């Protein structure tokens, strides 16, 4: 019984260390935007002190893209690109 527990623990540890997580490759959006929104790279909107960003402050689906809708010259709305690709 003790040997079986050791084998199970070794299998669990190896499976956790050797399994890779699948991420969306850079340049491939995982979703599209609603009408009126434009698809932008997420990092293009970081650290701009002259703009006010409303909405999400991170890329929720991890593909590197968000949807942006300008509301005024200095304010724009951010949502994640979560609509299915057509």
What pLDDT does 86 receive?
A: 61
Domain count, the chain: 1
What pLDDT does 27 receive?
A: 61
Phi, psi of 75 (to 5 degrees): -130, 135
Q: Which residue would you say has higher pLDDT here, 12 or 49?
A: 12
5 within domain boundaries: no
What pLDDT does 42 receive?
A: 80
Average pLDDT of the segment spanning 59-73 = 87
- SS3 sequence, 39-58? EEEHHHHCCCCCCEEEECCC
55 Cβ partners below 8 Å, 6+ apart?
77, 78, 79
Domain with 49 in it: 25-86
What's the rounded Cα separation, in Å, for the pair 28 and 24? 7
49 within domain boundaries: yes
pLDDT score of 24 more than 50: no
Side-chain half-sphere of 32: how many Cα atoms within 13 Å?
6
pLDDT score of 73 more than 80: yes
């Amino acid at each position: 019984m003790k040997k079986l527990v050791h084998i199970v623990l070794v299998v669990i540890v190896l499976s956790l260390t050797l399994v890779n997580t699948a991420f969306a490759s850079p340049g491939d959006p995982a979703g599209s935007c609603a009408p009126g929104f434009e698809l932008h790279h997420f990092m293009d909107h970081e650290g701009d002190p002259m703009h006010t960003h409303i909405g999400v402050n991170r890329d929720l689906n991890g593909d590197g893209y968000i949807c942006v809708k300008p509301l005024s010259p200095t304010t724009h709305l951010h949502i994640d690109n979560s609509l299915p690709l057509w």
